[in-house]
Each structure stands twice: as structure tokens, then as C-alpha cells.
Structure 1
Amino acid sequence: MTTQTSRAWLLSAPALVLFAVLLLVPLLMTFMLSFNSFDFYGGIGTDLSLANYAEVLGDSYFYEIFGRTFLIALITTAICAAIGVPQAYILYRMSPFWRSITVLIVIGPLLISVVVRTLGWAILLGNKGVINTALMDIGLIERPIRMMYTSGGIVLALVHVMVPFMVLAVWAALQRQDPATEAAAESLGARPRTIFFRIILPQAIPGVLSGSLIVFSLSASAFATPAILGGRRVKVVSTTVYDEFLNTLNWPLGAAIAMLLLVAVLIVMLSWNSLVERRYGEVFE
């Protein structure tokens, strides 16, 4: 090992130790806990088996929860992409002064506590909330529209906070493109729509990929928003894990559900990454 390599490892050592202590060690402990047995009278046992995984994989109730979780994450990702790509392009074309102001506005939802932000959405979406009250006052509806404790309400609140991740990822990709390609297309008589779909969008694919991975993984593992806006009616994986740990006290089963969520998210992310990279390579051959 060369001196330069040794110096690099030494400089990285504090961050690697912190990463191992705060992430890898708890993750390993959760993985080991998922194999323990559990008895409602005796608590966590010392017997090791795959019974917890078999219970999750053999019960249609958990399939429904996982399906709902990934459907919410997928819809959130699609909406964020539809909103974020045009918004990132507009941000890319702005002057530096207005761009700095717009970036601050875009990342505004990330500067607010997730609990405060979600409670704000609860005030808006409730049966006696701002939206229903306003619609009833102007006579558009006669009875409140149920928006709380629905998957749609969860998606709406998740989109609100996930859009900045998509915008920033796509904007960073657009920053690396060559402006001469747009000028060349304009000189050849291409219309703005053609330039966007044939020149801008293909070069933004890396940003869409990275933004989609971030949004999907964060949406699939979100807890506070589904817990507050979904309540007991709309169960997702994160709230199910919470119930197993703190309500039924079945920690091994909760750990097994958490590990399956981690594995499922990793599989989806790796598959999506492989698929888009192949498509990306074909576009630029």
C-alpha cells in the first residue's frame, strides 16, 4: 500500500467508523434479531429459525401491505418526475439571481420538520379542514370529500417533500450538458418542443434516474407521513414495523419485516438502475 493510499484511508477512517457504528452495527443487530423466536408470555426467545420470514412471506396480509407501500412509492416517483423535469429545465434557463431564489423556494419543504409539515397537510385535508370547508362554503360540494386516511392523501404529502430531490438531481444533470447542442438544433430549425424531447430530455436521463431512486427509496420507507395521514386505515410497511416493535412488542417479527423491506427496495433500485442504464446506453450509441 502506497503512502498516498494509506493517507487516504487514514483521512477516511473517522467517517467510516461513524458510518459503521451508526448504520452497519444497528442493521446487523436488526438482521440477527429477525431470526429470534417470540412468545407473547415469555418475550423474545433464544431459538433461531426462519419462522418470522416464513410468517411474513406466507401471509397475504403482508403482501397487501408491501404492495400498497410500493404502489404509493411508485406513484409518488412518477408524479415527482412529471413535475420535477420541467421545473428543473426552467431552473436551468433562469438567470443566476432568480435561480438562487427559486432554489430556496424549491428546497423550502425540506427546511420544515416532517411532523410539522405533515400536520399542516392534515389541517388541509381533514373533513373539516381548509380545503373541504372552502369547497362547501362556495357550494361546490355538499358533504366533505374524504382525503384523510387515504392513499391519495399520503401520495400528495409525499410529493410535496420529494419533488425537491427530483428537481435538484435533474438540474445537476442539465448543468453538465453542452449548451451548443441547443443552439445547433435551433439553427437547424427545430421547434422548442422538439429540442426539449430530442436534446434536453435524453441528457437529463441520468438526473431522472438518480432522482427516481432517491424519491422511490425515501417514499417506500417513509414513516411520519403515512402514520399521520394514513392512520390505522392505510397501513404501510414502516407503520407495520412500528406496530410490531411498540404495540405487540414482537421485535423479531418487526425486524424481519424491516429486513424484507430493505431487500425489496434494494432489488427494485438495482433493477431500475440496470434497466435505465441499458436504455441510456442505447440512446447515446
Structure 2
Amino acid sequence: MNRFLSLKPWFLSGPALLLFMVFLLVPLIMTFLLSFNSFSFYGGIEETYSLGNYIEILGDSYFYEIFLRTFLIALGTTVLCVLFGVPEAYILLRMKPFSRSIMLLVVLGPLLISVVVRTLGWAILLGNKGVINDALTTTGLISSPIKMMYTSGGIVIALVHVMIPFMIIAVWAALQRKDPSTEQAAESLGANPMQVFMRVILPQAMPGILSGSLIVFSLSASAFATPAILGGRRVKVISTTVYDEFLNSLNWPLGAAIAVLLLVSVLVTMLSWNRLVEKRYSGVFE
């Protein structure tokens, strides 16, 4: 009986663990093994194991440029989500329940729309003859359209639109655990609203900012539909490069190697950021 009870957690988690292995772990392992195969135009995929694909990627400045662009886009998206998401989460916390419910629906709205539909909507807004440029030209604020389509900036704007709910919800959840008396104590000691926010509220929101940043950065670095539609062929990122290698060049091993390097680099970045912030704000996490 005791032996059965000790195995009970494994029986309960078994179906989820099996599902995880079949649909996530096994494909990752297969992709990792595929990245060591070679490819020839006439022979296709050859089951010879070598580091040739990784050597080709690491020895070509073209791939360095793509990786740098991808991570700069992800970093810009994360920074903007923090700048806009943290104040919004604090405002959300101070709202009355009814107003908060409406605002939560507004915040989560982008997640309820298909990513393709949402991105096409941004294409209509950001185009040379789009809504924004037409409005600015009509009012006389600009004489010629501002180029926003097929630029990294346009991709960042669209990514912020969909990623900011993750930041707001993460920070809001962290702020719900804060002690309200700390704000009152700071105000009683003469602190102005900005000092209260920067020295009392922000440190307590740091766990939420950390988790939200990790989510936003990883999702932005691996995003495909938004960069593919708004960036086109001019702004190449890692996800679109992997797509081209798999479906256009048919060089699956090289595409698999790029995907593995993306996974490894995102994991290293996330773990490094996690260690840095936890070390800096160790007192807050405790």
C-alpha cells in the first residue's frame, strides 16, 4: 500500500509527461539529430553525422547579422513592453473591480485574435499608403510617407501589441502580493508619487517584470508570422530563415542547425538574465 502511495504522483503526472515527451521532447531530439546530417542538391539529406552545418553557420557573417537583428528586435520589444506594461499593471491594480474587469478584457484582446489577422491589420496601418501615413499626410505633418513596412521598427511595433498582455498580467500578479502599507509608510515619510513608484512599488514588481521579460523575449525571438508579413524578404530573422531553409532550399539539416542555435541562444540569454536579476534583487525575491 505504501509503495502504491509513493508511486501515486507518477501515475497522476504520467499522461501529461507522456504528452510532453511525444509532442515536444521527441521532435526536439529529432531536430537536434537532423542538424548533424549533410545535404546535397542531387542526393538530398544524407545520414552522415558531422558538425558541418554548425561550422557553416558560425563561419558566415550573414547568419551573425540575422541572429543580431532577431535579438535586437526581441530586446526592443521587451524594453517597450516593460516601459508600457509596468505602469499599466499598476493602474490596473488600483482600479475598482468592475473597471478592472473591462480593462482586463481590453488588455487580453490582442490574444483573442488570430496572429495573421492581427498582423495584416498592422500592415494596413503601417503601409506607405496606410492609415497612419494617410492621416499624417492629410494633416500636413509630413510631406512624404514614413517607411514603416519592411523595417525592424514596424515589426517591433506589431510585436509589442501582442506581447504586452504577457507583461501586464505577470506584473499585475506580482503587485497583488505586495504590502499596501509600504506605500502609505513612504507617503507618510514625505515621498512624492514618483519616489513611491521607483523605490517602493518597482522593487516589489521586479519578480513579475523578470518573468514577463523572459516570456516576451523568448516569444519575440521565435515569432514567425509577424516578421514574415511585416518584414517580408527585406528583414530576415531566424524564424523566417529556418522556414526558407526547410521549404525553399529544402536544406533541412541546415535549417535544423539554425533552429537548435536559436533554442540554445534563447535559453542562455534567459538563464543569464534570470541569474543577473535574482542576484541584483535577491532581497526582493526572499
Fold in common (TM above 0.5): yes
CA distance in 2, matches of 1:271, 1:160: 26
CA distance in 1, matches of 2:44, 2:285: 58
Tell me how far 1:128 sits from its aligned partner: 1.2
CA distance in 2, matches of 1:283, 1:13: 35
- Which residue is equivalent to 1:70? 71
CA distance in 1, matches of 2:75, 2:278: 19
CA distance in 1, matches of 2:81, 2:60: 32
SS of 2:136 mapped into structure 1? helix
Q: Residue type matched to 1:245 in 2?
A: F
What are the Cα deviations for residues 149-181 of structure 1, in whole angstroms up to 9, with x where unaligned? 000000000000011000000000001111121
Identity %: 75
Matches within 5 A, 1:88-167: 88-167=89-168
- 2:28 is equivalent to residue 27 of structure 1: yes
Moved beyond 6 Å, runs of 4+: none
SS of 2:281 mapped into structure 1? helix
CA distance in 2, matches of 1:103, 1:116: 21
Tell me how far 1:142 sits from its aligned partner: 2.2
Tell me how far 1:284 sits from its aligned partner: 7.5
- Which residue is equivalent to 2:251? 250
SS of 2:48 mapped into structure 1? strand
Q: Residue type matched to 1:205 in 2?
A: M
Q: Residue type matched to 1:102 in 2?
A: M
What are the Cα deviations for residues 93-124 of structure 1, in whole angstroms up to 9, with x where unaligned? 11111111111100100000000000000001
Q: Residue type matched to 1:243 in 2?
A: D
CA distance in 1, matches of 2:177, 2:86: 15
Aligned residues: 285
- Which residue is equivalent to 1:18? 19
Tell me how far 1:4 sits from its aligned partner: 3.8
CA distance in 2, matches of 1:282, 1:171: 20
Tell me how far 1:3 sits from its aligned partner: 4.0
Gaps of 5+ in 2: none
What are the Cα deviations for residues 48-82 of structure 1, in whole angstroms up to 9, with x where unaligned? 10000000000000000000000000011001000
SS of 1:49 mapped into structure 2? coil
Q: Residue type matched to 1:48 in 2?
A: Y
Gaps of 5+ in 1: none
- 2:137 is equivalent to residue 171 of structure 1: no
Q: Would the aligned equivalents of 2:126 and 2:154 in 1 still touch at CA under 8 Å? A: yes
SS of 1:38 mapped into structure 2? strand
Q: Residue type matched to 1:267 in 2?
A: V
Q: Kindly tell me: are residues 118 and 9 of structure 1, through their superposed partners in 2, closer, same or farther at Cα, counting changes over 3 Å? A: same
- Which residue is equivalent to 2:281? 280
Moved more, 87-96 or 274-283: 274-283
Tell me how far 1:186 sits from its aligned partner: 2.2
Q: Would the aligned equivalents of 2:278 and 2:285 in 1 still touch at CA under 8 Å? A: no
CA distance in 1, matches of 2:147, 2:94: 40
CA distance in 2, matches of 1:73, 1:181: 34
SS of 1:261 mapped into structure 2? helix
CA distance in 2, matches of 1:198, 1:5: 47
- 2:181 is equivalent to residue 180 of structure 1: yes
